[in-house]
Amino acid sequence: MSHNSPLDRARELAAGIRARGDEIEEARRVPADIIDDLREAGLFRLCIPKAHGGNEAPPLETLHIIEEIARADGSTAWVLMVGSTTALLSGYFPDEWAKRIYAADPNVISAGVTAPNGRARRVDGGIEVTGQWQWGSGCHHADWLVAGSLLVDDSGELLRDGNGAPQHLLPMLTADQVEILDTWYVHGMAGSGSTDFKTEGAFVPEGRWLRFGVDRPRLKGLYQFPLLGFLGLGVCSVSLGLARRAIDEFVAMADTKVPVASSRTLAHRGYVQSSLAEAEAAVRSARALLKESVESAWTTAAAGEPLTIDHRLQLRLATTNASRQSAKAVDLMYNAAGGTSVYDRYPLGRIFRDMHVATQHIMVAPPTYELVGRVLLGLDTDVSSL
């Protein structure tokens, strides 16, 4: 691996990001200079096709980079995760628009929301989009924003497809078409700037939107990974990085902290030793299952074949497991540290808060286990969400 690989660049940037964790949380967004460093390192171009100047990196490389940045700061990694995984759309858009969105500027960032909180109406030459979207992670830095919308007629009634289902579109808006709102007041992932954004009657020309669940990727390889499934992989990679940081912080603390009424450091207590071992096992086993599942899917995708339902199922299971086991590891470290965890001068409190916001993401929610369990039991199951 060359010294200038994206993973090496991520590791070089991580130390500086780590030192600014409190600043990032207090600002409620990632500072512009950190975003510029991530741009210049090419970390927002990991999922853009090589034909458009991107890295088109294997999935595990992207996930390792997100995890490395999360080990430094959860909010920064969250913004990177959203920006890099959203760029998977570059393999879906018609070539003309893929070039105009993702190739015109080497430092481009796309973000946004797929949830259909907007409404899109047909007009001459395209659609008009109106709506307000929550969870706009990284919207302050994005050049393009996905704005999930349902297609409506001129009276506002939903237009449905041949099966009676609403038509879910993914329009791509330019940054100057949206208003960013100040709604992000939260207890975790505060620095991600995941605030609301809105637009009123934004024009989107033909070709600059996708039909969610209908339009298939025009490129093979990386782009055979499901859009939301790949987002989920990014979410759990942030969680794995947070868990590893929690373990790092706890080990350093346990080696120096002498509890009240004790003459020996925290590291000498039995429950501390067992908590650390359990956390280590949780993170490493979760990471191993994730690696196994991603590598299996990547072998198929790299051969130019579409992923099977089993691939998608295993990816979702590994994703949810990694998130849940990471949260378990963070909780073990937070509790074993005792009262020290509650002080702002120690990072464990921020890591705990960030972790328990990451677990709220719908792609790593507990119902995934029910879905997988139904399939494993051979029951009739709707697998369209995979």
Query: Phi and psi at residue 205, in whole multiples of 5°?
Result: -70, 160
Domains plus CATH for the chain? Answer: 6-91 (1.10.540.10), 110-211 (2.40.110.10), 225-376 (1.20.140.10)
Reduced to 3 DSSP states, what percent helix, strand and coil does the chain have, rounded to the nearest 5? 55, 15, 30
Q: Is the pLDDT of residue 264 over 90?
A: no
For 88-134, write each residue's pLDDT tens digit: 999 999 999 999 999 999 999 999 999 999 999 999 999 999 999 99
CA-based nearest residue to 71, from 7, 14, 32: 14
Above 50 in pLDDT, residue 238? yes
Mean pLDDT of the 262-267 span: 83
- Least confident piece of the model among 42-46, 47-51, 281-285, 382-386: 382-386
Residue 259's pLDDT band (cuts 50, 70, 90): confident
Mean pLDDT, range 196-202, rounded to an integer? 98
Residue 3 pLDDT grade (very low, low, confident, very high; cuts 50, 70, 90): low
pTM confidence score: 0.95
Confidence band, pLDDT 50/70/90 cuts, at residue 258? confident
Overall average pLDDT of the 9-24 stretch: 96
d(CA 151, CA 129): 9
Asked if 74 and 180 touch (Cβ cutoff 8 Å), the reply is no
pLDDT band of residue 385 (cuts 50, 70, 90) is confident
> Rounded to an integer, what distance in angstroms lies between the CA atom of residue 128 and that of residue 171?
9
Q: Is the pLDDT of residue 47 over 70?
A: yes
